[in-house]
A and B are shown apart, each in its own frame.
Chain A
Amino acid sequence: MRNKKLLFIILLIAFPFKSLALIEVDITRGNLSPLPLAVSSLASNKKDKENLEKKLEIKDLGLEISLIVENNLKKSGLFNPLNKDAFLQKPDIAHLKPRFEDWALIKAQALITGKVNFIDDKLRVEFRLWDVLAGKEMLALAFTTVPKNWRRVGHIISDKVYERLTGEKGYFDTRVIYVAEEGPKTQRVKKLAIMDQDGFNTKYLTLGNELVLTPRFNPTNQMVTYLSYFKNLPRVYLLDIETGIQEVVGDFPGMTFAPRFSPDGKKIIMSFAMDGNSDIYTMNLENRIVERITNHPSIDTSPSYSPDGKYIAFNSDRSGYQQIYVMKSNGKNVKRISFGKGLYGTPVWSPRGDLIAFTKLHKGKFYIGVMRTDGKGERLLTENFYQEAPSWSPNGRVLIFYRETKTNSKGEGFSAKLWSIDLTGYNERLVETETDASDPSWSSLLSN
């Protein structure tokens, strides 16, 4: 299903052994001196260039793809793409055999070159990653796809380069689903929206007729679960973003909310509120069997599975105030793990399994932070007037969340925006969206 969109053939031109790894980027610490690298424009012959321009209305596709790669790598905070004006060697010649002295002269430690062809209505892109100082090729790959997937080719190249240089999977060929917001604070109109992780290809999935909140991706396919106030009945819905088909999940006699998928994508875990009490339930999407997981007179909400599916982190005020708890996936062995000062909410288990991201409210400030799964080693990454709802990049290195501004004395100046920050606490960035935005959820890698 996933591969249907992007049918590509990967040709291994050369694949050097990992043991020869020369340049390495350490991503476990805040990187204050990002690796300088050169992303050469991808070369193409005159005829292919003209045909591609006719097809896509893009003048120099090779250049555009190289800019996607540059932008991705730059925003990761780990790399410093050098200005193309300083490049001495032409793209086509560099791709055949770089003159490493020229690239060393401008202080590039790595070089990316490539070639774009248009053959039988298919886009063929190849690229190479070079270690400039060692004068060696580190990676070479080629992809064939339909031309309209050209941006994804840029993202896949970015992922391959990131993986080769850091030793960990990338997160560029991904999408973010979020809630697009417009209108005055007292009457916000909210729509589901989806975009590529770099902010391109935004699509709106609902019209804004009813309030929608908290969309989350299925980690295994293109399904999304979210809360909709359709007909003024707040219920958890399931949406297939390929077909646009949506359905209500479960016929509960009250509000269902705070949905998330299990790691295998087969269950939805959510809260069900009735008579003033919210508890956590799961629904098996194959046989629609509903299971009650918590049974406590307090508020139990914001459940999130561990990546192995064995545990659930959730938010409860059973101690009197909002705190984070962990239990086995059958609801047994409930343990509170947050013991710092303040209130804790929105626990989200890292895809690597070792950390839980959260929102903390303390002395009128909101923090995004991480703690180990036993609650120890709390680290606050960012402080602001209002921010919440962290969501992990699929490699567990970056968090995306939303932030709201304080209004002035007349109640004006409200905005909601998406932000991202590295697990290290460095590299905080505004994620640009067409409208105001909240409740981001990061997809898995679309290709591997």
Chain B
Amino acid sequence: MNLGKINKNIFLVLFLSFVLSACATQTAKKVDSQMQGDVYTGTDTVEYLADGVPDRVFFATNESVLTTASRETLRKQASWLRKNSEITVVLEGHADERGTREYNLALGERRANAAKDYLMTYGISSSRISVISYGKERPVDSGSNPLAWSKNRRSVTVKAN
């Protein structure tokens, strides 16, 4: 192998790695804008119970801990529920597709209950809240990628009456 060819190869490698890293930063940025850690922070799938009251909160993989943003959303829901005392709600807990079906049913139930507990600490009676888990059965995004999965790990508050 002569020196010229080696140089050419090095150049090629450098060039390729430049192109690749450029791609990587671009996609990373795009994802970053909608995820923090692996918790979804975008608004793509979010619906509103009333003006300024988002209907859902999102979770990290395998987690049921409420993030700061989730707690803020739930406080808005609690205040809306206090103002509309005739309304009852169902909290629907969901998991992404990257888990076994039965464990995901339990995880969805745990997530919906985390949201329920928080609403209760803000004065909403448990009699107005019921909980159902769908596990991984009802994804909102059919994608097989981290962003889609982050949208599917959720608890959605749905008006029941």
Contacts and interface: CB of A to CB of B under 8 A. Distances in A.
Interface of A: 184-188, 211, 213-214, 227, 232, 234, 254-255, 257-258, 271, 273, 275-278, 299, 301-302, 315, 317, 321-322, 343, 345-346, 359, 361, 364, 385-386, 388-389, 404, 406-407, 409, 411-412, 414, 439
A276 B140 contact: no
B97 A359 contact: no
Contacts of B64: 276
Contacts of A407: 142-144
Nearest to A273: B109
B128 interface: no
Given A321-B62, A404-B97, A407-B144, A299 B133 contact: no
A77 to B, nearest CB: 27
Contacts of A343: 99
B102 interface: yes
B100 A275 contact: no
B132 A276 contact: no
Contact of A302 (B97, B100, B110, B145): B100
B98 A213 contact: no
19 contacts: A184-B142, A186-B140, A257-B102, A257-B106, A273-B105, A275-B113, A276-B64, A276-B110, A276-B112, A276-B114, A278-B110, A302-B102, A315-B102, A322-B100, A407-B143, A407-B144, A411-B142, A411-B148, A412-B142
B82 interface: no
Contact of A439 (B101, B117, B139): B101
Given A184-B142, A276-B110, A346 B100 contact: yes
Contacts of A234: 105, 132-133
Contacts of B97: 386, 404
Contact of B132 (A185, A255, A389, A411): A255
Nearest to B111: A276
8 pairs of A and B residues whose beta carbons are closest in the complex: A276-B113, A411-B142, A345-B100, A185-B142, A278-B106, A406-B144, A299-B106, A258-B102
B97, B113, B142, B145 — most chain A CB neighbours (10 Å) = B142
A359 to B, nearest CB: 5
B159 interface: no
A187 to B, nearest CB: 8
B137 interface: yes
Contacts of B137: 188, 211, 213
B149 to A, nearest CB: 11
Given A188-B137, A345-B100, A301 B143 contact: no
A364 B141 CA distance: 19
A404 B137 CA distance: 13
Given A186-B140, A361-B99, A301 B106 contact: yes
A346 B100 CA distance: 7
Contact of B102 (A317, A321, A345, A412): A345
Given A276-B110, A276-B113, A322 B133 contact: no
Interface residues of B, number: 32
Given A255-B133, A299-B106, A301-B106, 7 more contacts: A213-B101, A254-B131, A299-B110, A301-B102, A361-B98, A388-B100, A389-B101
B117 to A, nearest CB: 7
A317 B105 CA distance: 13
A98 B36 CA distance: 75
A232 B141 contact: no
Given A234-B133, A404-B97, A277 B140 contact: no
Interface in B35-87: 62, 64
Contacts of B145: 409
Contacts of B107: 299
B62 A273 contact: no
A292 to B, nearest CB: 16
Which of B62, B99, B101, B110 has the most C-beta atoms of chain A within 10 angstroms of its own C-beta? B101
B144 A315 contact: no
A277 B145 CA distance: 29
B103 interface: yes
B144 A255 contact: no
Contacts of A255: 105, 109, 132-133
A317 B101 CA distance: 15
Contacts of A412: 142
A386 B98 contact: yes
A384 to B, nearest CB: 12
Contacts of A257: 102, 105-106
Contact of B106 (A271, A386, A389): A271
A299 B105 CA distance: 10
Contacts of B62: 317, 321-322
A322 B138 contact: no
The residue among A273, A278, A359 with the most chain B CB atoms within 10 A of its own CB is: A273
Nearest to A213: B101
A327 B24 CA distance: 47
A129 B32 CA distance: 67
Nearest to A322: B103
Contacts of A227: 105
Nearest to B148: A411
A409 B106 CA distance: 29
A177 to B, nearest CB: 15
